[in-house]
Amino acid sequence: MTFSLSRRSFLASSTAALLAAGTLPSWAQQSQLRLIFWGGQARADRTYGVVDLFTKDHSDVSIEGEFLGWADYWPKVATQTAGGNQPDIIQMDYRYIGEYARRGSLAPLDEYVGAGLDTSSFDEDQLRNGTVDGKLIGISLGVAAGAAVYNTKVLADAGVEIDPMRWTYDDLLTQGPKVSESTGGAVAMAPDGSGIELLFENWLRQKGKALYADGQPAFAPEDVTEWFELWAELRAAKAIISPDEQAIDTGVLETAPLVRGKSAMNFTTSNQLVAYQTLIPDPLGIAIYPATSPDSTGGHYRNSSQYFALSSTSAAPEKAVEFINFFVNNPEAASLLGVERGVPASAAMRDAVAATLDERGQMVVQYIADLGEIAGDVPPTPPASAGEIEVALKTKSQEVSFGAQSPADAGPAFYNEVIQTLGRTN
């Protein structure tokens, strides 16, 4: 009896001690934040540089970062979110931000604006890009736009000249063959862009259409057919690389035909010029996506390359917002980041980085500035299945390029696939 009593009291007291230890840890003042982003090593180095800079001044905060490639990133974030294990600060893409925000896993930032989060010198359109259903969800980490990055040496050697802000699909068709002729077929002028969603969108917009409007496709099956026919013509003229060379590209920088020396160009976004230049010894140039005619406008737009968003389950939201604010508003941080994530969305930071930028960085800033007259409005937040449709276009483009389906059949087929995907419940 006495034994069982004493054991019980022992249990009780030890439990109390455990509880006390749980609620009053010795590091109570320390906030631990987790940060996740996609990108390559160049981006990680710059990001962690800013983290170190921030934690040097904020000894009460420690930040644990994690970065992955694009394809692995979304499964990881989804699993963490479902498991209640979401990092505090999450890098977001315009294709996914709506999906996460509408399901309540990202916290609105409106209450912090002016109270810890300074957006006073931010570009209006960049704030609008990060707004979902009237609430500010994502803080733009940079302005970027669709761009063709090209190897100046390869083009010059082949005697190809393009006007970076006015070149067209016709130029690609007529001048492209020179590159493969002069290199004995080893290098083509451009990759096969028929499966690149951003490029397709750009071409649609130049025709006065769009990818989506009100959650529905804003193009017709005939547009898709015309698009695939355009690329079939370029392929036949050897202006672009072969389908099997294109299929090697899995979306990782290292597998891009431009990096592997198979094409003189890649269709990407303006901020990527910096990352590509670290992988290619020849000097790179930047141009618009090909125009349908030299004076065509409205295809490009000033996108936000990515956002930082705050998890709605963050245990220390104020600290997380403080870090986000530091990331986009501190001049030292801005000069560390450069324009690798795009041109800073804040005018003050643009001035701060301008002086410290190298030649490629300056070119990116100049490109965004030059785009002013050509660019159109930013499209609305895409529907939830946008990520899936991006993959579907890639697969469909391969069916056409490898000859499994004709452009005439592929147009309606892809259109139906889009309708089905958009109409499907998860």
Partner 1 sequence: MTVQNVATAPQAGVPKTSVWRRIWQQDGPGYLFLLPWFIGFFGLTLGPMISSLYLSFTHFDLLTAPRWAGVDNYVRMFTNDPKFAASMRVTMFFVIFSVPLKLAFALGVAMLLNRGMKGLPLYRALFYLPSLLGASVAIAILWRQIFAGDGLVNKFLSIFGIVGPSWISNPNYSLWTLIVLAIWQFGSPMIIFLAGLRQIPQDMYEAASLDGASKWRQFWKITLPLLTPVVFFNAIIQTIEAFKSFTPAFIISGGTGNPINSTLFYTLYLYQEAFGFFRMGYASALAWVLLALVAVFTAFSFLTSKYWVHYDD
Binding residues for partner 1, rule: CB under 8 A, are: 71-72, 74-75, 78-79, 81-82, 99-100, 103-105, 242-248, 250-252, 255, 385, 387-388, 391, 394-395, 398-399, 402, 404, 425-426
Residue among 213 and 404 whose Cβ is closer to partner 1 = 404
Q: Min. distance of Cβ 394 from partner 1 in angstroms?
A: 7
For residue 102, which phi and psi values (nearest 5 degrees)?
Answer: -70, -20
Q: Which residues contact 22 (CB under 8 A, 6 or more apart)?
A: none
**Three-state secondary structure call for residue 136:** strand
59 bridge partner residues: none
Q: Min. distance of Cβ 193 from partner 1 in angstroms?
A: 16
Q: Please name which of 121, 163, 126 lies closest in space to residue 142, comparing C-alpha atoms.
A: 126
Residue among 83 and 281 whose Cβ is closer to partner 1 = 83
Q: Min. distance of Cβ 152 from partner 1 in angstroms?
A: 23
- The overall longest dimension of the chain from CA atoms, in Å, is 99
Residue among 247 and 408 whose Cβ is closer to partner 1 = 247
Contact 140, 117 (CB under 8 A): no
- How far apart, in whole angstroms, are the C-alpha atoms of residue 308 and residue 324? 7
Residue among 102 and 209 whose Cβ is closer to partner 1 = 102
Residue among 243 and 338 whose Cβ is closer to partner 1 = 243
Q: Min. distance of Cβ 225 from partner 1 in angstroms?
A: 18
Q: Min. distance of Cβ 71 from partner 1 in angstroms?
A: 5
Going from the C-alpha of 111 to that of each of 106, 114, 327, the distances in angstroms are 14, 8, 18
Residue among 54 and 415 whose Cβ is closer to partner 1 = 415
Q: Min. distance of Cβ 82 from partner 1 in angstroms?
A: 4
Q: Min. distance of Cβ 288 from partner 1 in angstroms?
A: 27
Contact 169, 288 (CB under 8 A): no
Residue among 85 and 297 whose Cβ is closer to partner 1 = 85
The percent helix, strand, coil of the chain (3-state, each to 5) is 50, 15, 35
**Three-state secondary structure call for residue 71:** helix
Q: Which residues contact 11 (CB under 8 A, 6 or more apart)?
A: none
Q: Which two tokens stand for residue 380?
A: 């609305």
Q: Min. distance of Cβ 357 from partner 1 in angstroms?
A: 32
Residue among 9 and 395 whose Cβ is closer to partner 1 = 395
Q: Please name which of 168, 115, 112, 152 lies closest in space to residue 135, comparing C-alpha atoms.
A: 112
C-alpha triplet 210, 139, 423: angle, nearest 5°: 40
Q: Min. distance of Cβ 248 from partner 1 in angstroms?
A: 5
Residue among 129 and 385 whose Cβ is closer to partner 1 = 385
Residue among 195 and 344 whose Cβ is closer to partner 1 = 195
Q: Min. distance of Cβ 77 from partner 1 in angstroms?
A: 10
Q: Which residues contact 16 (CB under 8 A, 6 or more apart)?
A: none
Q: Which two tokens stand for residue 261?
A: 């020396």
Q: How many contiguous H segments (helices) and E segments (strands) does the chain have?
A: 17, 15
- Detail the DSSP E strand segments found in 279-413: 284-287, 303-304, 307-311
117 bridge partner residues: 113
Q: Min. distance of Cβ 24 from partner 1 in angstroms?
A: 31
C-alpha triplet 138, 144, 150: angle, nearest 5°: 150
- Identify the DSSP state of 296: -
Residue among 105 and 272 whose Cβ is closer to partner 1 = 105
